[in-house]
Structure 1
Amino acid sequence: MGNTSHGRLTFTVEVDAPEDLAVDAARADALLTVRARPAGEAEDRPGDGKAGHGPRHAEVLIMDRSQSMAASGKLDEAKKAVSAAIDTLRDGTLLGIVAGDHEATVIYPPPGRPLAPVDQHVRQHAKHQVAAQVAQGGTRIGRWLTLARDLFDTSTGSDTVCHAVLYTDGKNEHETPEQLANAVRGCADRFTCDARGLGEHWHRSAIRAVTEGLHGSAAAVLDVPDLTEDFVRLMQDAQQLVMPRMYLALSLTGRFDLGFVRQTRPVQVDLTDQRQERGAEIHIPLGAWAAGAHQYHVSVHFEPESLPLNHRVQAATITLRTEPPAGQADRPTCTDERVLIVKRRSSKAFVIPVSANLTRVEAERELRFAMQDCADAHERGDSALADAKLRQALALAEQLGDTRRLRLLRAMAQDGPDGKPVVRPGVSNGRIQQIGLDATRTGPVPDDPVDADTGPRRDTGVCPNCHRPLVAPDAKFCEPCGAKIGAEGAG
């Protein structure tokens, strides 16, 4: 398993990777389960920022004060939520507050000062500044994030857990998606950020851009008064973070190239574009960590003819690394190395074993796309496609036993004239945004993923176009060649 203690957490890496490959296979896949457990019962309490009591924490709270927040008492409710978050922070946590519209302003601490260590005096003054905010202007989330990064940069070191949280009630209309993406890249690997869509008129694309790039959680808060409870929980969770930065380190042998790295649990995120070249290794940033578990799908590609037949070949070594202490360049390892081994079989008649866990991962990915396609089609006014994607999503969620997403889908469905589910007329924009956003939420890693219920196990079949094995039995497309499976004219 590769069990190694690093500071306050003990890490293990479990690898589920079928060794045998078809003679014409061009990729190998592995499902990695990374678990972090407290290193000992006598661990110091994290988060108060004092020597000997765990890592220092820094928190920047980002308020949307755009003009739309004036409606329906939203800004007043948001002020309650931000004030409750301030009260939840432990003494010693470094605090900053950014108020955002089409510009961004630090409203606490006072101009020119670093982030303030929380105490009763700081709480009082910070909440006073929050209460004084007035709705104005538009929305430019990238500017808010950049100012939060600047606050962290002036007040923290590499050993500080830096976390931000933001909410927004409207569309990010004062910058392009490319400008937001550039801002997120400028903040990547510097701090993590949770984001919330508030009420009915926001759009999931900006929320996802923030949280996928900055390793945070994304959620819809449709009932505005619920934001207070949500922010309190987010602060409690943030203060459990004890590792400022973690990295998945991959060292590929000469025949192999990285295809992709995707987080599969608790949330689906494609991490491939975040790769960092570090000497002979590829490092994938994983954000800040607390005790808990995550799963990752790693795929490596190769030319079939480059592998000798019936020989075990090392494709990659896998380990975890963390942020080095100040003054050191090399990121220390947190786990023993794991090795990915493959064997190309010489006969097409050889039965290639299929990982039930990888099969489930692909089915969950199809569920994600069905939910997102349903939301997209509804927004375009394509009711026929939205209804078809809703039915597909309902079937996949039921097959997977995904009760949470099944409940969300049923809440927006009703029986059509033919008895089949259709999108309920009059479903709110907030509900559509929630469906599109929650499509990526797969839930916690099972305690024993190998023995977990992974649904029906069936022959995955082969692609009729390139004749390579499909990872999922119900795959709608072949990832190596892109051909649609079951489409008219395929093959």
Structure 2
Amino acid sequence: MANFSKSNVPQFSVDIYQNEFLPEGGREVNAIVTVTATGGGTTGGLPLATHGPGEVLLPGPGAATGAGAAVVIMVDCSGSMEYPPTKMRSAREATAAAIDTIRDGVAFAVVAGTHQAREVYPANGGLAVADPDTRRQAKEALRRLTSGGGTAIGSWLRLAQRLLATADASIRHGILLTDGRNEHEKPEQLRAALESCAGHFTCDARGVGTDWEVKELTGIASALLGTVDIVADPSGLEADFRQMMETAMGKEVADVALRLWTPQGAEIRYVKQVAPSVEDITARRVQAAPRAGDYPTGSWGDESRDYHVNVVVPAAGVGQEMLAARVSLVQPQPDGTARVLGQGLVRAVWTDDMAASTRINPQVAHYTGQAELAQVIQQGLDARKQGDLDSATAKLGRAVQLASASGNEDTAKLLAKVVDVVDAATGTVRLKARVTDADEMTLETRSSKTVRVKK
């Protein structure tokens, strides 16, 4: 049996789920695009080959196991990290655990963040290459971390960008930990930093405790195509950091985009990632060619994601059909071209069969509900904070109903900590009189997480 190294990259497939039938004059086409990357590290030295409709084996770029990857860990060291004292200690231990998880050959650095950013290790304006010695040195440097000062997250991100730019790596990733609000720089400074960093590296953000701002961290993770979560108890940081770094080490293909081509007269109304979480990427479109636009998706390992594409097409009569959109998964190449990793087609067929044209595709129906679930949770929590209890009850009741109907048990459990559920099927709830900050922030932070369609 051949010994296949982890440097082999995955095989991509693109599957389209839709009801292509429209009534006479109908114009709106909905499709769920499932992109799956499989076989990283198991494909061996196979040549470029086609494996069926929409599936292409991609050779070439390095995996996150050597010089092809770089990571910067940004640790909040502001004064608030000292209260309680376990918080800073847990942050040091979590960062040490993440460093232990970095594979040999990966470039890395550690940044201490306060009202300014400081490189803690290797502290030479660049990155160290992971091996037993550098990991040990980095952990020794962590022991000298102390808390004091303010919080200016934009400066942390800009330093991470400068450090990552020194690496000859296709996979560039950041991990950011904070326990507070971005109080020592203006919101426009953070926005400018995010605009500067977007497209240069991805970043996972974590809030420890309950004194940070959910929308602030969510915005950072969204702009940098990463994940966001709460670690309410500092003791949970080590396991979370280890898992984050393991996921980062599994990324193998960088800068992947969803390219949508539409024919004359058709236009994309929106594109949303709908699994594993809801993220509207419509506004991120970059024009790629006449009638084609690229929507960035970041880096990929062995994983699967779903996207909801909504296309408006010209009206047509019964019996006509057209290609509503061509969906390609592409990766830019050094020469300015794009390598196609997979492809699928979205169709429109006009019919006078009412049963066919009114049928809603199960995937489309499911993810439409999941997107609404994320939206009504946010609306309900915002109403609750503003004292509009009637609106909060209605929105969170609808959320309970949607979570129950779709089998989203994780979100249902989080909702049950904010409302008393009288009848999940009808969405009848009562707001709890007392809700902990941790429970409310956990629901808000994880509101966009979705469940896949039951097969």
Q: TM-score, normalised by structure 1?
A: 0.82
User: Displacement of 1:411 after TM fit?
Assistant: 2.2
Q: Match of 2:65?
A: 48
Residue correspondence of structure 1 range 224-235 to structure 2 within 5 A: 224-235=234-245
Which of 126, 141, 145 in structure 2 is aligned with 1:133?
A: 145
Q: Which is worse superposed, 371-380 or 288-297?
A: 371-380
Q: What is the CA-CA distance between 1:244 and the residue it aligns to?
A: 1.6
Task: Give 1:214 deviation, angstroms.
Answer: 1.5
Distance 2:28 2:190 in 1: 33
Query: Are the counterparts in 2 of residues 390 and 422 from structure 1 also a CA contact under 8 Å?
Result: no
Contact 1:181 1:209 in 2 (8 A): no
Q: Aligned residues, how many?
A: 427
Q: Determine the C-alpha separation between the residues in 1 that align with 2:202 and 2:356.
A: 46
TM-superposed CA distance for 1:375, in Å, is 1.7
Q: d(CA) in 1 for partners of 2:421 and 2:368?
A: 28
Consecutive unaligned residues of structure 1, counting only runs of 5 or more, are: 1-5, 51-55, 454-491
Question: Could you say which residue in structure 1 is the equivalent of 2:24?
Answer: 23
Stretch of structure 1 that moved more, 407-416 or 101-110: 407-416
Of 69, 79, 88, 2:81 maps to 69
Q: 1:181 aligns to what?
A: 191
Q: Does 1:434 align with 2:442?
A: yes
Query: Are residue 238 (structure 1) and residue 269 (structure 2) matched?
Result: no
- Which runs of at least 4 in structure 1 moved beyond 6 Å after TM superposition? 346-350
Change in CA separation of 1:77 and 1:350 when aligned onto 2, cut-off 3 Å: closer
Q: Which residue of 2 aligns with 1:285?
A: 296
Q: What SS is found at the alignment partner of 2:415?
A: helix
Could you tell me which residue of structure 2 aligns to residue 375 of structure 1? 381
Q: How does 1:142-181 map to 2 (within 5 A)?
A: 142-157=154-169, 160-181=170-191
Report the alpha carbon displacement of residue 383 of structure 1 after superposing the two structures with TM. Answer: 3.0
Distance 2:29 2:419 in 1: 39
Residues 218-268 of structure 1 show CA distances to partners (whole Å, capped at 9, x for unaligned) of: 111111110011001111111111112211111111111121110000011
Q: CA deviation at 1:425?
A: 2.6
Are 2:120 and 1:90 aligned? no
2:66·2:106 contact (CA, 8 Å) conserved in 1?
A: yes
1:269 matches 2:258: no
Secondary structure at the counterpart of residue 182 of structure 1: helix
The amino acid of 1:422's aligned partner reads R
Q: Structure 1 residues 176 and 389 mapped into 2: Cα distance closer, same or farther (>3 Å)? A: farther
Is the 1:23–1:347 contact (alpha carbons within 8 Å) kept by the matching residues of 2? no
Q: Match of 1:96, as an amino acid?
A: A
CA contact 2:40–2:301 (8 Å) conserved in 1: no
Per-residue deviation, 1:24: 4.2
Q: Distance in 2 between matches of 1:274 and 1:390?
A: 30
Match of 1:192 in 2: 202
Percentage of pairs with the same residue: 29
**Structure 1 counterpart of 2:340:** 333
1:362 corresponds to: 368
Q: What residue is the counterpart of 2:120 in the other structure? A: 107
The corresponding residue for 1:58 is 70
Q: Closer, same or farther in 2 for the Cα pair 1:428/1:124, shift >3 Å?
A: same
Indicate the larger mover: 258-267 or 272-281: 272-281
- State the alpha-carbon separation in 2 of the partners of residues 415 and 321 from structure 1: 45
d(CA) in 2 for partners of 1:319 and 1:340? 11
The question of whether the paired residues in 2 share the 8 Å contact of 1:184 and 1:209 is answered with: no
CA distance in 1, matches of 2:356, 2:63: 53
Task: Go from structure 1 to structure 2 and tell me whether the alpha carbon gap of 1:393 and 1:284 turns closer, same or farther (over 3 Å shift).
Answer: same
The unaligned stretches of length 5 or more in structure 2 are 1-6, 46-61
The equivalent of 2:14 in structure 1 is 13
Cα offset for 1:23? Answer: 3.2
| CA RMSD after TM alignment | 2.4
Deviation (angstroms), 1:347: 8.4
* 1:144-195 deviation line (CA, Å, top 9, x unaligned): 11211111112234xx211111111112223444443332222222211111
For 1:202 and 1:303, the matched residues in 2 are separated by 47
